[in-house]
Structure 1
Amino acid sequence: MNRSGSLYIEKNSIFHKLDGSVKLLMMIIWTIFIFMFMDARVFLIMLIIGFGFILIAKLPFKSIAPLIVFIFIFTIFNSLLLFIVTPAYGSTLAGKYTALVNFHGYKLTYETLFYAITLSLKYLSIIPLTIIFIFTTHPSKFASSLNRVGISYKVAYAVNIALRYIPDVKDEVKNIVNAQQARGIAFKKGDAPFYKILKNYTIILFPLIISSLNRIEVVSNAMELRGFGINKKRTWYNRENLRSLDIIFIILFVLLLVIGLILKKNIFTHFWYPW
Structure 2
Amino acid sequence: MAVDMLSYIDRPSPIHRLTGATKLICFILWSSAAMLTYDTGVLVFMLVASIVFFQLSNVQFRDISFVVIVLAVFLVINNIAIYIFAPQQGVAIYGAKHELFHIAGWYNVTLEQLFYQLNITLKYVTVMPAALLFIVTTNPSEFASSLSRIGVSYRISYAVAIALRYIPDIQRDFRTIAISQQARGIDLSKNEKLGKRIKNALSIVMPLIFSSLERIETISNAMELRGFGKHKKRTWFTAKDFQKADYVAFIFVGVVLIVSLVITFVRGTRFYNPFL
Query: TM-score surpassing 0.5?
Result: yes
The SS at the match of 2:16 is coil
Q: What residue in structure 1 maps to residue 86 of structure 2?
A: 86
- Do the aligned residues in 2 keep the contact of 1:71 with 1:124 (CA within 8 Å)? no
Q: What residue in structure 2 maps to residue 164 of structure 1?
A: 165
Q: Deviations over 1:20-68 (max 9, x none)?
A: 1011111001000000112343322211110111111111111122222
Q: Distance in 2 between matches of 1:93 and 1:84?
A: 17
Q: RMSD of the TM alignment (CA)?
A: 2.8
- Structure-2 change in CA distance of 1:38 and 1:198 (3 Å): farther
Q: Deviations over 1:230-258 (max 9, x none)?
A: 11111111112222222222222222222
Q: What residue in structure 2 maps to residue 21 of structure 1?
A: 21
**CA displacement at 1:206 relative to structure 2:** 4.6
Consecutive unaligned residues in structure 1, runs of 5 or more: none
- Structure-2 change in CA distance of 1:41 and 1:175 (3 Å): farther
- Structure-2 change in CA distance of 1:168 and 1:258 (3 Å): same
Q: What residue in structure 2 maps to residue 35 of structure 1?
A: 35
Worse-superposed segment, 8-17 or 202-211: 202-211
- Structure-2 change in CA distance of 1:21 and 1:241 (3 Å): same
Q: Which amino acid aligns with 1:241?
A: D
- Structure-2 change in CA distance of 1:202 and 1:112 (3 Å): farther
- Structure-2 change in CA distance of 1:95 and 1:185 (3 Å): farther
Q: Distance in 1 between matches of 2:208 and 2:91?
A: 44
- Structure-2 change in CA distance of 1:208 and 1:56 (3 Å): same
- Do the aligned residues in 2 keep the contact of 1:34 with 1:43 (CA within 8 Å)? yes
Matches within 5 A, 1:110-259: 110=110, 111-179=112-180, 181=182, 187-188=188-189, 190-192=190-192, 199=198, 203=202, 205-259=205-259
Q: Distance in 1 between matches of 2:49 and 2:244?
A: 22
- Do the aligned residues in 2 keep the contact of 1:39 with 1:268 (CA within 8 Å)? no
Consecutive unaligned residues in structure 2, runs of 5 or more: none
- Structure-2 change in CA distance of 1:48 and 1:175 (3 Å): same
Q: TM-score, normalised by structure 2?
A: 0.85
- Structure-2 change in CA distance of 1:187 and 1:202 (3 Å): closer
For the pair 1:9 / 2:18, whether they are aligned, the reply is no
Q: Distance in 1 between matches of 2:39 and 2:176?
A: 43
- Do the aligned residues in 1 keep the contact of 2:44 with 2:122 (CA within 8 Å)? yes
Q: Distance in 1 between matches of 2:86 and 2:128?
A: 26
Q: What is the identity percentage for the equivalent residue pairs of Structure 1 and Structure 2?
A: 36
- Do the aligned residues in 2 keep the contact of 1:6 with 1:139 (CA within 8 Å)? no
Q: Distance in 2 between matches of 1:192 and 1:80?
A: 31
Q: Which amino acid aligns with 2:85?
A: V
Q: Distance in 1 between matches of 2:272 and 2:187?
A: 46
Q: Which amino acid aligns with 1:118?
A: N
- Structure-2 change in CA distance of 1:37 and 1:223 (3 Å): same
The SS at the match of 1:102 is strand
Worse-superposed segment, 227-236 or 245-254: 245-254
**CA displacement at 1:77 relative to structure 2:** 1.3
Q: Distance in 2 between matches of 1:136 and 1:227?
A: 31
- Structure-2 change in CA distance of 1:87 and 1:158 (3 Å): same
